[in-house]
Protein backbone atom coordinates (compact mmCIF):
# COMPACT_ATOMS: atom_id res chain seq x y z
CA UNK A 1 0.00 0.00 0.00
CA UNK A 2 2.83 2.42 0.86
CA UNK A 3 4.44 1.80 -2.54
CA UNK A 4 1.15 2.65 -4.25
CA UNK A 5 0.80 5.81 -2.18
CA UNK A 6 4.39 6.77 -2.87
CA UNK A 7 3.86 6.22 -6.61
CA UNK A 8 0.65 8.29 -6.53
CA UNK A 9 2.38 11.04 -4.56
CA UNK A 10 5.29 11.14 -7.02
CA UNK A 11 2.85 11.16 -9.94
CA UNK A 12 0.75 13.85 -8.30
CA UNK A 13 3.85 15.85 -7.36
CA UNK A 14 5.25 15.66 -10.88
CA UNK A 15 1.92 16.76 -12.28
CA UNK A 16 1.69 19.48 -9.66
CA UNK A 17 5.23 20.68 -10.36
CA UNK A 18 4.38 21.07 -14.03
CA UNK A 19 1.19 22.88 -13.02
CA UNK A 20 3.05 24.99 -10.48
CA UNK A 21 5.74 25.87 -13.01
CA UNK A 22 3.04 26.93 -15.43
CA UNK A 23 1.15 28.73 -12.66
CA UNK A 24 4.37 30.48 -11.62
CA UNK A 25 4.63 31.95 -15.12
CA UNK A 26 0.98 32.97 -14.96
CA UNK A 27 1.42 34.27 -11.36
CA UNK A 28 -2.10 35.05 -10.18
CA UNK A 29 -2.49 37.20 -7.09
CA UNK A 30 -5.14 35.82 -4.75
CA UNK A 31 -4.62 32.26 -6.03
CA UNK A 32 -2.53 29.56 -4.39
CA UNK A 33 -1.68 25.94 -5.12
CA UNK A 34 -1.56 23.15 -2.55
CA UNK A 35 -0.62 19.48 -2.55
CA UNK A 36 -1.61 17.16 0.29
CA UNK A 37 -0.01 13.72 0.66
CA UNK A 38 -1.06 11.22 3.30
CA UNK A 39 1.42 8.40 3.82
CA UNK A 40 0.74 6.27 6.87
CA UNK A 41 0.92 8.54 9.91
CA UNK A 42 2.52 11.42 7.99
CA UNK A 43 0.66 14.22 6.25
CA UNK A 44 2.64 16.61 4.09
CA UNK A 45 1.07 19.83 2.86
CA UNK A 46 2.90 21.83 0.21
CA UNK A 47 1.70 25.38 -0.45
CA UNK A 48 2.73 27.82 -3.15
CA UNK A 49 1.31 31.34 -2.91
CA UNK A 50 2.26 34.69 -4.43
CA UNK A 51 3.92 36.84 -1.76
CA UNK A 52 1.47 39.60 -2.69
CA UNK A 53 -1.34 37.41 -1.28
CA UNK A 54 0.44 37.12 2.08
CA UNK A 55 2.03 40.57 2.38
CA UNK A 56 1.30 44.09 1.21
CA UNK A 57 4.03 43.63 -1.43
CA UNK A 58 5.38 40.79 -3.59
CA UNK A 59 9.09 41.60 -3.93
CA UNK A 60 12.24 41.70 -1.82
CA UNK A 61 11.67 43.92 1.22
CA UNK A 62 12.97 47.45 0.65
CA UNK A 63 12.29 48.93 4.09
CA UNK A 64 12.63 47.83 7.73
CA UNK A 65 8.82 47.81 7.91
CA UNK A 66 8.61 45.36 4.98
CA UNK A 67 11.28 43.12 6.55
CA UNK A 68 9.26 43.12 9.77
CA UNK A 69 6.09 42.26 7.85
CA UNK A 70 7.84 39.27 6.24
CA UNK A 71 9.14 38.08 9.61
CA UNK A 72 5.65 38.36 11.16
CA UNK A 73 4.16 36.35 8.28
CA UNK A 74 6.82 33.65 8.78
CA UNK A 75 6.19 33.49 12.52
CA UNK A 76 2.48 33.15 11.83
CA UNK A 77 3.15 30.29 9.37
CA UNK A 78 5.16 28.48 12.07
CA UNK A 79 2.84 29.09 15.01
CA UNK A 80 -0.73 29.60 13.87
CA UNK A 81 -3.14 26.75 13.20
CA UNK A 82 -3.52 27.08 9.43
CA UNK A 83 -4.73 23.53 8.81
CA UNK A 84 -7.16 21.58 10.95
CA UNK A 85 -6.85 17.87 10.35
CA UNK A 86 -9.61 15.50 11.53
CA UNK A 87 -9.43 15.87 15.35
CA UNK A 88 -9.92 12.12 15.94
CA UNK A 89 -6.69 11.46 13.99
CA UNK A 90 -4.68 13.24 16.73
CA UNK A 91 -2.29 14.98 14.33
CA UNK A 92 0.38 17.42 15.42
CA UNK A 93 2.49 19.81 13.40
CA UNK A 94 6.10 18.58 13.36
CA UNK A 95 7.85 20.92 10.96
CA UNK A 96 7.37 24.01 8.80
CA UNK A 97 9.81 25.00 6.05
CA UNK A 98 9.47 28.25 4.08
CA UNK A 99 11.33 29.44 0.99
CA UNK A 100 11.15 32.32 -1.47
CA UNK A 101 13.80 33.44 -3.94
CA UNK A 102 13.64 37.09 -2.85
CA UNK A 103 13.51 36.44 0.91
CA UNK A 104 16.43 35.36 3.08
CA UNK A 105 16.47 32.63 5.69
CA UNK A 106 16.83 35.30 8.40
CA UNK A 107 13.30 36.45 7.59
CA UNK A 108 11.66 33.07 7.09
CA UNK A 109 13.09 31.09 10.02
CA UNK A 110 11.99 32.35 13.46
CA UNK A 111 15.01 30.57 15.01
CA UNK A 112 17.49 32.85 13.19
CA UNK A 113 18.21 36.22 14.84
CA UNK A 114 16.39 39.05 13.10
CA UNK A 115 17.16 42.71 12.50
CA UNK A 116 14.68 44.82 10.51
CA UNK A 117 17.48 47.13 9.29
CA UNK A 118 19.84 44.46 7.90
CA UNK A 119 19.63 42.99 4.40
CA UNK A 120 17.41 45.64 2.84
CA UNK A 121 17.44 45.32 -0.93
CA UNK A 122 17.42 48.57 -2.90
CA UNK A 123 16.42 47.49 -6.37
CA UNK A 124 14.79 49.35 -9.21
CA UNK A 125 13.21 46.09 -10.37
CA UNK A 126 10.35 44.97 -8.12
CA UNK A 127 9.68 41.43 -9.32
CA UNK A 128 6.79 39.43 -7.89
CA UNK A 129 7.72 36.16 -6.26
CA UNK A 130 6.07 33.18 -4.59
CA UNK A 131 6.39 31.65 -1.16
CA UNK A 132 6.83 27.88 -1.03
CA UNK A 133 5.82 26.32 2.29
CA UNK A 134 5.96 22.75 3.53
CA UNK A 135 4.00 21.61 6.59
CA UNK A 136 4.64 18.14 8.02
CA UNK A 137 2.13 16.59 10.41
CA UNK A 138 2.34 13.26 12.27
CA UNK A 139 -0.91 11.60 13.33
CA UNK A 140 -1.38 9.34 16.35
CA UNK A 141 -4.47 7.68 14.83
CA UNK A 142 -4.06 8.08 11.07
CA UNK A 143 -6.90 5.62 10.38
CA UNK A 144 -9.30 8.35 11.59
CA UNK A 145 -7.96 11.00 9.22
CA UNK A 146 -10.48 11.94 6.52
CA UNK A 147 -10.32 15.70 6.02
CA UNK A 148 -8.31 18.91 6.21
CA UNK A 149 -9.86 22.30 6.91
CA UNK A 150 -7.73 25.01 5.27
CA UNK A 151 -7.75 28.12 7.47
CA UNK A 152 -5.40 30.23 5.34
CA UNK A 153 -8.31 32.34 4.10
CA UNK A 154 -8.97 33.90 7.51
CA UNK A 155 -5.26 34.36 8.23
CA UNK A 156 -4.62 36.03 4.84
CA UNK A 157 -7.83 37.47 3.34
CA UNK A 158 -6.09 38.31 0.04
CA UNK A 159 -6.08 34.57 -0.73
CA UNK A 160 -9.29 34.02 -2.71
CA UNK A 161 -8.86 30.52 -4.15
CA UNK A 162 -6.61 27.52 -3.51
CA UNK A 163 -6.21 24.74 -6.06
CA UNK A 164 -5.65 21.47 -4.18
CA UNK A 165 -4.42 18.05 -5.24
CA UNK A 166 -4.49 15.36 -2.57
CA UNK A 167 -3.19 11.81 -2.50
CA UNK A 168 -4.65 9.77 0.35
CA UNK A 169 -5.15 6.07 1.15
CA UNK A 170 -8.58 6.47 -0.49
CA UNK A 171 -7.16 7.78 -3.78
CA UNK A 172 -6.37 11.02 -5.51
CA UNK A 173 -8.62 14.10 -5.26
CA UNK A 174 -8.58 17.64 -6.51
CA UNK A 175 -10.56 20.62 -5.30
CA UNK A 176 -10.84 24.37 -5.62
CA UNK A 177 -11.16 25.90 -2.18
CA UNK A 178 -12.61 29.30 -1.32
CA UNK A 179 -13.22 31.09 1.99
CA UNK A 180 -16.72 29.58 2.12
CA UNK A 181 -15.68 26.09 0.91
CA UNK A 182 -12.42 25.42 2.70
CA UNK A 183 -12.41 21.70 3.43
CA UNK A 184 -10.83 18.80 1.54
CA UNK A 185 -12.52 15.46 2.39
CA UNK A 186 -11.73 11.88 1.44
Ordered by start, the domain boundaries in the chain are 2-185
3-state SS class at 156: coil
Percent of the chain residues topping a pLDDT of 70: 81
The set of residues, in sequence order, having a beta carbon less than 8 Å from that of 110 and lying 6+ positions away, is 71, 74, 75, 78, 79
DSSP per-residue codes, 30-41? TEEEEEEEEETT
* pLDDT value, residue 17: 41
> HSE (CB half, 13 Å, CA atoms) of 67?
17
Distance CA 15, CA 21 (A): 10
Reply yes or no on whether the pLDDT at 16 is more than 90. Answer: no
pLDDT in the model for residue 36: 98
**Residue 133 parent element (H or E):** strand 130-139
pLDDT band at 127 (very low <50, low <70, confident <90, very high): low
Amino acid sequence: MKKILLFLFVLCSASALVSLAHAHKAHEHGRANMNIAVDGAQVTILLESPLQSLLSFGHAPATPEQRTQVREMAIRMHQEELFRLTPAAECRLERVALAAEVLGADLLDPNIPFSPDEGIVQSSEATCDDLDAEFLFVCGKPENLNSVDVLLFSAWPKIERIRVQAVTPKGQRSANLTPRRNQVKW
